[in-house]
Amino acid sequence: MSKGMELKEVELNELDQEKQPMTGGTPTGTEKNGCVKVKVSEDTEVKFTGLSKEELMRVAGTTGWVRIRWLLLVLFWLGWMGMLAGAVVIIVQAPRCKPIPDMQWWNEGPLYRISDLNGFSEEKGLKGVEEKLDSLSQLKVKGLILGPVHTVQVDKLPTLDFMTITGELGKEKDLDSLLEKAHKKGISIVLDLTPNYNGQQPWFNGEDVIAEKLRDACAYWRHKGVEGFLLSKLPDIASIRNWQSIRDVVQANTTEGTKKTALMGSAIHQDVDDTSTFLNKSEVDLFLIGLSNLTHSGMDLAQAVKRMYSSHPQTSLGWSLTPILSMFAAMPIRLRHMLLFTLPGTPVFTSGEVVGLQDGESLDAIWDLESPLKETNETAKTVRAERGDVRSFFKTLSDLRGKERALLHGDYTPLYNSTSSFAFLRLWDQSERFITVLNWDQSPVTMKLANIDLPSEARIRLSTDAEKLAVDSMVPLEQLELGPKQAVLLSYPYAG
């Protein structure tokens, strides 16, 4: 025997029946029955092999374990039923989500109107528009209203051809190329089909032959991929007996997965009642409303918007500010942007409005912002910087409107108005609420925004005065102070 080994006693807890003494008596000798002397090395690991299957079955069948298993099973099902009941209670008591209204492509972002295609960019005509699609896409523009681009001589009805593009703007293949590239960027193309657009009477006295040509042209261009048609001075054409046939062609049912074709109209020099009546009568998909023709003060503005919103779905309302007349002449460009982007409906802009160009100024200033600065004159640098800030302001508003449900399709509630100030609330279900506040007067104004559901303060999301009204700072709503020619967009969360 080695020195590293010693005898150890191993006790067997249970003996196999065949190993029991056959006499059944007590074993003799100094050793207990079932005990043996074995040699075990100190370095040898003793492994626990566990119970055999037969031993497990014998233990599992005992009364105690059966009761424990039943108790655990009952507790499991009681817990499961409790969680199910709790979930049902939460679902029943939780506020119902408001269904999202049907939205069409012209409701999802701003429309951009380009009347003079040759003056739009250095590259003339349709090619010039195609060249600027990337820039327009960055502004989240959803549709371009082009032209008119069709062929017609002034006041000569026989020369009217809706299906031929005037030579100075390009050829049909140029429009095909523009359509293809615009669609890839999610931008729809709308054609202005005002017949006699250079004449004194745009509709040639509304003769039926025009309606027939117009109907055929809508069918033709719709098949080519054009997704909307604008009819300026709509009252001159929508009263003829063939109007329904034009609507049927444009508003025909579209197949699933394709965009609906929009029938748009506009009119000038109409008051709120006439505009509302004609919108109902014509049944166009979108009616472009010139706020400049309806309002002369903040009180007029509040009343006009409220009446149009209460009488028509906001999906059919398009707002524009051209021509810039009355009170809007005194309203800075950023205030106009904030107003149009936050009203209930679709904002419609003309080319120069994006950077605040005045009538007659070259549109080249828009695209100069994308090229390196060449001017060394300080005045020119200042003007360029200001226009760049205006464009950034426009883009920020466009981004916000596309992301926030309250601004996209939320309910509208006026909060405050005076001769030169206006405030309103936009809210949707359980989403963030937004308040637009405008003051275009030369003097500051203090507003008390009265509404039972408003909180005591709100967060600034966008401001025309970043120093006094910094973004993300909180302002009181009971006594909201706004400086001369300033605007602010506020928000506050849904409170439950």
The rounded distance, in Å, linking the Cα atoms of 435 and 412 is 10
Query: Which one has a higher pLDDT value, 14 or 493?
Result: 493
- What are residue 413's DSSP bridge partners? 425
| Predicted confidence (pLDDT) per residue in 362-385, tens digit | 787 787 777 776 666 888 888 888
Q: For residue 294, what is the enclosing H or E element?
A: helix 291-294
In percent, the amount of the chain with pLDDT more than 70 equals 86
Give the span between the Cα atoms of 345 and 328, in whole angstroms: 19
Cα 88–chain centre separation: 32
pLDDT, residue 446, reads 93
Q: What is the mean pLDDT of residues 83-110?
A: 86
What residues does each domain of the chain span? 1-94, 106-404, 414-492
Would you say 470 and 459 are in contact if contact means Cβ atoms under 8 Å apart? no
Q: Which amino acid is at 109?
A: G
pLDDT of residue 324: 56
**Calpha distance 438→320 (Å, rounded):** 17
Looking at this protein, which amino acid is placed at residue 115?
S
Lowest-confidence region among 118-127, 173-182, 259-268, 320-329: 320-329
pLDDT tens digits for 212-252?
Answer: 999 999 999 999 999 999 998 888 887 777 888 899 999 88
Nearest Cα residue to 438 out of 269, 288, 305, 348? 305
pLDDT class of 101 with cuts at 50, 70, 90: confident
> What's the Cα-to-Cα distance from 171 to each of 19, 163, 164, rounded to whole Å?
109, 11, 8
Amino acid at 217: A
User: Mean pLDDT for the chain?
Assistant: 85
* pLDDT for the residue numbered 333: 92
Query: Rounded to whole angstroms, what are the CA distances from 342 to 101, 268, 332, 460?
Result: 17, 23, 16, 15
Those residues with Cβ within 8 angstroms of residue 135's Cβ, 6 or more apart along the chain or in another chain? 366, 367, 370
In residues, how long is the chain? 496
Q: Is the pLDDT of residue 263 over 80?
A: yes
- Residue among 91, 83, 169, 62 nearest 124 (CA): 169
Q: Determine the longest span between alpha carbons in the chain, in angstroms.
A: 138
- The structure tokens 């439950």 sit at 496
Q: In what order do the strands lie in the sheet with 421-427?
A: 411-418, 421-427, 433-439, 486-492, 457-463, 474-476
Amino acid 37: pLDDT:
56
Q: Could you report the per-residue pLDDT of 187-221, keeping only the tens digit for each?
A: 999 999 999 998 888 888 767 788 899 999 999 99
User: Do residues 160 and 214 make contact, with C-beta atoms less than 8 angstroms apart?
Assistant: no
Q: To the nearest whole percent, how much of the chain has pLDDT over 90?
A: 54
Nearest-angstrom CA–CA distance, 284 and 20 = 104
For residue 431 the two structure tokens come to 């989403």
Distance between CA 427 and CA 451 in Å, rounded?
13
Residue 478 has pLDDT above 60, yes or no: yes
* Residue 496 burial (10 A CB sphere; 0-12, 13-18, 19+): exposed
Rounding to the nearest 10 degrees, give the CA dihedral for residues 18, 22, 26, 31: -60
304-334: per-residue pLDDT in tens?
A: 999 999 999 999 999 998 655 566 777 899 9
Secondary structure E strands in 171-261: 188-192, 228-231
Task: Report cis status (omega within 30 of 0) of the bond before 313.
Answer: no
**Lowest-confidence segment of 168-182, 245-259, 394-408 by average pLDDT:** 245-259
More confidently predicted of 480 and 9: 480
Residue of 203, 196, 251, 204 whose CA lies nearest to 227? 251
SS3 63: helix
Q: Which CA distances in Å does 478 have to 423, 439, 449, 458, 481?
A: 13, 16, 6, 10, 10
User: Is the bond preceding residue 148 a cis peptide, omega within 30 degrees?
Assistant: yes
With 0-12 / 13-18 / 19 or more C-beta atoms within 10 angstroms meaning exposed / middle / buried, residue 179 is buried
Q: Which pLDDT belongs to residue 368?
A: 76
Is the distance from CB of 217 to CB of 193 less than 8 angstroms? yes
Number of alpha carbons in the 13 Å side-chain half-sphere of residue 177: 12
Residue for token pair 């626990």: 48
| CATH homologous superfamily for the domain 414-492 | Golgi alpha-mannosidase II (2.60.40.1180)
Cα separation, 149 vs 126, whole angstroms: 9
CATH number of 106-404: 3.20.20.80
Residue 52 vs residues 12, 45, 59, 66, 409: alpha-carbon distances, Å: 16, 20, 11, 19, 70
The CA-based angle 281-284-289, given to 5 degrees, is 90
In this prediction, residue 257 carries a pLDDT of 66
**Model confidence pLDDT, tens digit, residues 116-165:** 999 898 888 999 999 999 999 999 999 999 999 999 999 999 999 999 99
State the pTM of this model: 0.81
Helix (H) or strand (E) holding 104: none
